Structure 1
Amino acid sequence: MLWAAAFLFVSYTSSGVASPTRAANDSVPRLEIRTEPSGGVLATAILHLPVPPRIVLAVLTDYEHWPGLFGHRFRIARLERTEGRVVTDLQIKRSPFPGELRLLCETKRLPDGELVTSLIEGDFKRYVRRWKIGSDGAGDRNRTRAEMELRLELASWAPTWLVTWSLRRELEEHFRILHEWVVKRFRAETGTPPAPPARGPA
């Protein structure tokens, strides 16, 4: 797994830019993946989820269950909670290759509410994931607009097309699981179904 810890059909072109998928409802996020001139890739996504922001944030910060949220593509070797941050030492499967990648990272909740996971050390030159979680639409507190930005670059060389292809597959799975988990958590807490899917452009 190339993006790990840290969450859609795109087409990779020879220019290194993936075209966005536009959402028609809650279950289909918008995603763009492109190569960066300085190296590595940038992935951005917009998700519309039928639950309040607090539910989404609770799932994204349930660190002990991160492996399941990312399709069990990594294991947590160490998890340390300190004031203001959470440090996770992740051992990531190198699928389709043998062995593991190490990603030691820290996650912080910024004063503006942004959730940021950044590289400390490991088998990456760069890894920064940002989540902006807020109410979706005109003051609808029962729905969430979640914006994700991920910048990553492996320390070892790999073909850009392979990185992009692998990242796309992993994000597809991660966003699908995230949607399932937030709906399940909302039902467990409230005993009611979530808001109906939104229709129309994202």
Structure 2
Amino acid sequence: MPASLRVLSMLLLAGLARPGLALTDDDVTVAYKDGSYTASLRVRTPAPPAIVLAVLTDFDHMAEFMPGLESSRIVANQGNSYQVAQRGKVKFGPFSMSYESMRQIEVVDGQRILSRSLAGSARRMQSEMRIQPLEHGTRIEYHIEIEPESWIPSSLGTNFMQHELAEQFNALTKEMFRRH
């Protein structure tokens, strides 16, 4: 395959060649029940699993490529287990909300990333990310459960989460592509 065709196919796989091919809000499934939200998404990148994992665990530099993230740092690390402090502001239309989090994050076998909130702007948060190698890249499956500290109307919260997760994962896959 000619180099220009290979680059175009990689861009198309990453959803970066045209804005319409990027992950959209509708690609993120969100449900609300009893004050908690659950969300799931799948995304593909042409980057190999090693680069995907490197980007997803680059906590000390994450604020450089994640929209709205003002600071991110590892406060403790033991092997594949991290405590990460993050602070930022998310925006959706005319609404914005500042947040802080302290999370316990564990990387399991280089194929799963488990995260749970220890402190911060959410009463409860836990997530799981699965990294699956493909013939030409990697598939990422993400699932999160979160109970916000303060009440958010479910219709606004659902749309807000869809938008925020799509934006975050587009930024992550863009960084994976850049490093690839």
For Structure 1 versus Structure 2, the TM-score category normalised by the shorter chain is: 0.7 to 0.9
Q: What's the % identity of the aligned pairs?
A: 21
Structure-2-length-normalised TM-score: 0.76
Give 1:143 shift: 1.2
Name the CA shift for 1:101/1:184 in 2 (closer, same or farther; >3 Å).
Answer: closer
CA RMSD of aligned residues (A): 2.3
Task: Name stretches of at least 5 consecutive residues in structure 2 with no aligned partner.
Answer: 1-11, 16-21
Give 1:42 shift: 0.8
Return the alpha-carbon distance in structure 2 between the equivalents of residues 57 and 171 of structure 1.
18
Task: Name stretches of at least 5 consecutive residues in structure 1 with no aligned partner.
Answer: 1-23, 187-202
Report the residue type matching 2:64 in the other structure: G
| Residue of structure 1 aligned with 2:106, choices 92, 105, 108 | 108
Structure-1-length-normalised TM-score: 0.68
| Residue of structure 2 aligned with 1:179, choices 164, 167, 173 | 173
Name the CA shift for 1:160/1:73 in 2 (closer, same or farther; >3 Å).
Answer: farther
The CA deviation string for residues 108-149 of structure 1, in whole angstroms up to 9 with x for no partner, is 01247311111112221211121100112xxx1x31111011
Report the residue type matching 2:59 in the other structure: Y
Return the alpha-carbon distance in structure 1 between the equivalents of residues 162 and 85 of structure 2.
23
Q: Does 1:132 align with 2:126?
A: no
The CA deviation string for residues 79-120 of structure 1, in whole angstroms up to 9 with x for no partner, is 32233311112223264356x332111110124731111111
Name the CA shift for 1:172/1:94 in 2 (closer, same or farther; >3 Å).
Answer: closer
Return the alpha-carbon distance in structure 2 between the equivalents of residues 122 and 179 of structure 1.
26
1:2-151 pair list within 5 angstroms: 25-27=13-15, 28-29=22-23, 30-35=27-32, 37-76=33-72, 79-93=75-89, 95=91, 96-97=95-96, 100-111=98-109, 113-136=111-134, 140=135, 142-151=136-145
User: How many matched pairs?
Assistant: 157
